């Protein structure tokens, strides 16, 4: 079924709509203009956003001001190889909008005589309704991306996303509970009273496929060419993410042999790996993410293409690099993912400072272990003093012995031992994630740096200077927020403050009231787990914190409140929407 026209104005609203419904729709649209923000979860795992890097930089100002969100709004530079995995909260003004099922009834849909390839009771009812309504209005529409992949693997999808032949404004005209986001890559978010959002994207084509000759630079910076469902499948990153499902006919649409790779548990690019990774090098990190999360192997030509294109990561939007890196670190499979990153060269490309620190030669610094009461500073003179020769100091008493400290040189970990320690810490981080602990971005970066901190602390290398230079480089290459740049040193410094002799009186109580206390305590816990050491001191610090009425329990991921982040609002026209700050307070001075 094809779209009726390419007119982006969309079809007229149904004549059966009442004046009250029209007014309600207009009020909702006005509310969008006033709101300018969306509530979205951070786990937008299945997007392959390969869009313009300049859009990705627009949200930097708010994040640089303070803590900011650890993840950024990707709708402005979306590549939509997979429709998203976001759990969005419905804006306040949508609470007055009736549930879509209260609108005019849909015409009956033809049912297939064969059993569906995916049972409908496994599909989200609201996503099913969106597909059915779009098809009833004459548009091709399918479930797409990660939800189809997960259902075929017997997994429970986090989100259900829709791809359609309808252009964004046409989608908006079909659903009065709809909002458009993005400037160049426009997506439709269909809201439901429960707070659920069904992301609906228009079929796109690869812009490079529209050219007669391949350009010398394959990096895709503009990606907003409408296409067909087959073109949309072939422009995606991996075969397992290029599947579509028609829930009304009960059929899977597979243009890229994705089902065969699902059965073979194989990660493979769609098309030539070298070309696909040059178009968007961030796909290298995404391939690693899916391989470790699903337990799949990476096909050999795909792996070779990843190694060949890894140098292009430095040209990608810093916000996207941070986004995908944090997803690796907080996925619960960070240890295996970082092993693959090292094998491919991702770490050397985007975090060369950390890679170099694992291998840099370190000189041990002598550590004072005892200070004797008296140790002679000089040896007695050789031979007897000449007779009748006056002493140089007369009758003064001989000098008192000078105390010389007793020192010990602590052996430092070798490069291999540092890397093994890093692997242990990441395994501990995965265990914490498996216990539903909410891992902040500052905490994730602290775990990465902790093995270097442990190795450099007893050495002559100044760790504080190295850390300051490293965080500054990462803020430019990975867009670390100012909050993370300040919090990571606090978490690491807190390790020394959590030693046993400081757990007394006012000193201990003051430590528990520091903003970084819980993260420092979690890092200490991970370090003890990684060393198979007892956790007695962790419990004592919790008792101290409880007595000081300080928070000490680690936040749970399942208890995290939806994070509000800015998004570009595009009303019903092609104008670029303005964006508002994602929190109150003073504006940045220009």
- CATH number assigned to the domain comprising residue 320: 1.10.110.30
pLDDT reported for residue 313: 96
Helix (H, G, I), strand (E, B) or coil at 584: coil
pTM of the model: 0.72
In this structure, are 423 and 326 located in the same domain? no
What is the residue whose two structure tokens read 């740096």? Answer: 449
Q: How far is CA 171 from CA 19, 162, 233, 293, 538, in A?
A: 21, 11, 20, 33, 54
For the sheet with 187-191, list strands across it.
251-254, 243-246, 141-144, 161-164, 197-202, 187-191, 178-181, 569-570
In this structure, are 259 and 298 located in the same domain? no
Number of domains in the chain: 3
In this structure, are 187 and 116 located in the same domain? yes
**C-alpha to C-alpha distance for 488 and 477, rounded to whole angstroms:** 17
Mean of pLDDT values over 423-441: 96
In this structure, are 250 and 334 located in the same domain? no
> Which of 314-323, 373-382, 513-522, 571-580 bottoms out in mean pLDDT, i.e. has the lowest?
571-580
| pLDDT band for position 97 (cuts 50, 70, 90) | very low
Q: Are 344 and 310 in contact (CB under 8 A)?
A: yes
pLDDT reported for residue 566: 33
Decide if 160 is inside a domain.
Answer: yes
Decide if 578 is inside a domain.
Answer: no
Decide if 565 is inside a domain.
Answer: no
For all residues of the chain together, what is the average pLDDT?
A: 77
| pLDDT band for position 558 (cuts 50, 70, 90) | confident
Annotated catalytic residue, options 161, 232, 261, 484? 161
Nearest residue to 292 (alpha-carbon basis) of 314, 321, 324: 324
Asked which of 220, 246, 264 is the last residue of a domain, the reply is 264
In this structure, are 275 and 341 located in the same domain? yes
Asked which of 206, 235, 264 is the last residue of a domain, the reply is 264
Decide if 392 is inside a domain.
Answer: no
pLDDT reported for residue 68: 36
3-state percent breakdown (helix, strand, coil) of the chain, nearest 5: 45, 10, 45
What is the residue whose two structure tokens read 């939007």? Answer: 317
| pLDDT band for position 90 (cuts 50, 70, 90) | very low
Would you call 536 a catalytic residue per the annotation? Answer: no
Asked which of 248, 264, 280 is the last residue of a domain, the reply is 264
pLDDT reported for residue 585: 45
| pLDDT band for position 299 (cuts 50, 70, 90) | very high
Does the structure show a pLDDT above 50 at 590? no
Annotated catalytic residue, options 89, 159, 254, 484? 159
In this structure, are 497 and 521 located in the same domain? yes
Mean of pLDDT values over 433-462: 94
Helix 282-294 vs helix 334-344: crossing angle, to nearest 10: 140
pLDDT digits (tens, 9 = 90+) for 1-10: 444 444 443 3
pLDDT reported for residue 477: 95
In this structure, are 438 and 461 located in the same domain? yes
pLDDT reported for residue 114: 81
Does the structure show a pLDDT above 70 at 151? yes
Mean of pLDDT values over 507-517: 88
In this structure, are 322 and 358 located in the same domain? no
Structural domain including 314 reads 266-347
56 vs 232, higher pLDDT: 232
CATH of residue 5's domain is: 3.30.460.10
Q: Where are the beta strands (DSSP E) in 21-144?
A: 37-40, 141-144
In this structure, are 64 and 149 located in the same domain? yes
**C-alpha to C-alpha distance for 184 and 171, rounded to whole angstroms:** 16
DSSP tag of 101: G
In this structure, are 38 and 175 located in the same domain? yes
Would you call 161 a catalytic residue per the annotation? Answer: yes
128 vs 382, higher pLDDT: 128
Decide if 526 is inside a domain.
Answer: yes
Annotated catalytic residue, options 63, 85, 232, 237? 237
Would you call 159 a catalytic residue per the annotation? Answer: yes
pLDDT reported for residue 40: 38
Decide if 493 is inside a domain.
Answer: yes
Decide if 395 is inside a domain.
Answer: no
Does the structure show a pLDDT above 70 at 23? no
549 vs 220, higher pLDDT: 549
> Which of 79-83, 135-139, 262-266, 517-521 bottoms out in mean pLDDT, i.e. has the lowest?
79-83
**C-alpha to C-alpha distance for 258 and 267, rounded to whole angstroms:** 9
**C-alpha to C-alpha distance for 339 and 10, rounded to whole angstroms:** 49
Decide if 572 is inside a domain.
Answer: no
Mean of pLDDT values over 212-231: 67
User: Can you say whether the dihedral through the CA atoms of 338, 467, 515, 494 is positive or negative?
Assistant: positive
């Amino acid at each position: 079924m094809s779209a009726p026209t390419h007119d982006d104005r969309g079809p007229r609203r149904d004549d059966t709509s009442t004046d009250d419904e029209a007014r309600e729709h207009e009020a909702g649209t006005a509310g969008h203009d006033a709101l300018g923000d969306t509530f979205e979860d951070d786990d937008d795992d299945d997007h392959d956003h390969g869009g313009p890097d300049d859009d990705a930089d627009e949200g930097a100002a708010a994040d640089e001001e303070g803590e900011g969100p650890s993840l950024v709004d990707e709708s402005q530079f979306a590549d939509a190889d997979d429709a998203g995995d976001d759990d969005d909260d419905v804006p306040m003004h949508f609470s007055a909008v009736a549930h879509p099922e209260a609108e005019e009834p849909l015409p009956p849909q033809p049912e297939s005589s064969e059993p569906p390839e995916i049972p409908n009771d496994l599909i989200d009812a609201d996503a099913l309704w969106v597909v059915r309504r779009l098809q009833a209005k004459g548009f091709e529409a399918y479930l797409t991306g990660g939800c189809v992949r997960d259902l075929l693997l017997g997994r429970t999808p986090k989100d259900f996303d829709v791809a359609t032949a309808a252009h964004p404004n046409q989608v908006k005209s079909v659903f009065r509970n709809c909002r458009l986001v993005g400037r160049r890559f426009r997506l439709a978010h269909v809201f439901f009273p429960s707070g659920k959002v069904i992301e609906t994207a228009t079929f796109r084509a690869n812009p490079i496929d529209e050219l007669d000759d391949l350009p010398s630079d394959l990096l895709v910076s503009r990606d907003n060419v409408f296409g067909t469902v087959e073109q949309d499948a072939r422009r995606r990153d991996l075969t397992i993410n290029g599947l579509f499902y028609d829930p009304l006919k009960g059929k899977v649409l597979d243009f890229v042999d994705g089902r065969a790779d699902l059965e073979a548990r194989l990660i493979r690019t769609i098309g030539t790996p070298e070309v696909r990774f040059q178009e968007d090098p961030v796909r290298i990190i995404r391939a690693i993410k899916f391989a470790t999360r699903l337990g799949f192997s990476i096909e050999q030509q795909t792996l070779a293409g990843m190694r060949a294109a890894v140098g292009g990561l430095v040209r990608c939007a810093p916000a996207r690099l941070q986004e995908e890196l944090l997803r690796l670190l907080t996925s619960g499979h960070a240890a295996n993912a970082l092993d693959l990153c090292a094998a491919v060269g991702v770490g050397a490309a985007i975090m060369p400072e950390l890679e170099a620190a694992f291998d840099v030669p370190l000189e041990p610094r002598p550590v004072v272990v005892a200070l004797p009461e008296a140790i002679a500073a000089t040896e007695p003179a050789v031979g007897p003093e000449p007779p009748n020769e006056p002493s140089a100091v007369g009758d003064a008493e001989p000098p008192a012995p000078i105390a010389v400290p007793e020192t010990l040189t602590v052996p430092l970990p070798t490069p291999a031992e540092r890397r093994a320690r890093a692997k242990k810490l990441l395994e501990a981080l995965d265990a914490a994630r498996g216990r539903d602990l909410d891992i902040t971005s500052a905490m994730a970066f602290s775990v990465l740096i902790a093995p270097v901190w442990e190795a450099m602390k007893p050495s002559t290398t100044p760790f504080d200077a190295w850390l300051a230079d490293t965080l500054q480089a990462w803020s430019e290459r990975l867009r670390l927020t100012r909050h993370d740049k300040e919090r990571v040193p606090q978490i690491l410094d807190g390790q020394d403050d959590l030693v046993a002799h400081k757990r007394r009186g006012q000193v201990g109580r003051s430590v528990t009231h520091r903003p970084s206390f819980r993260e420092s305590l979690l890092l200490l816990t991970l370090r003890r787990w990684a060393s198979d050491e007892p956790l007695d001191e962790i419990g004592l610090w919790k008792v101290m914190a409880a007595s000081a009425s300080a928070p000490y329990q680690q936040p749970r991921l399942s208890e995290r409140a939806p994070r509000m982040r800015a998004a570009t609002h595009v009303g019903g026209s092609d104008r670029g929407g303005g964006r508002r700050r994602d929190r109150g307070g003073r504006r940045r001075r220009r």
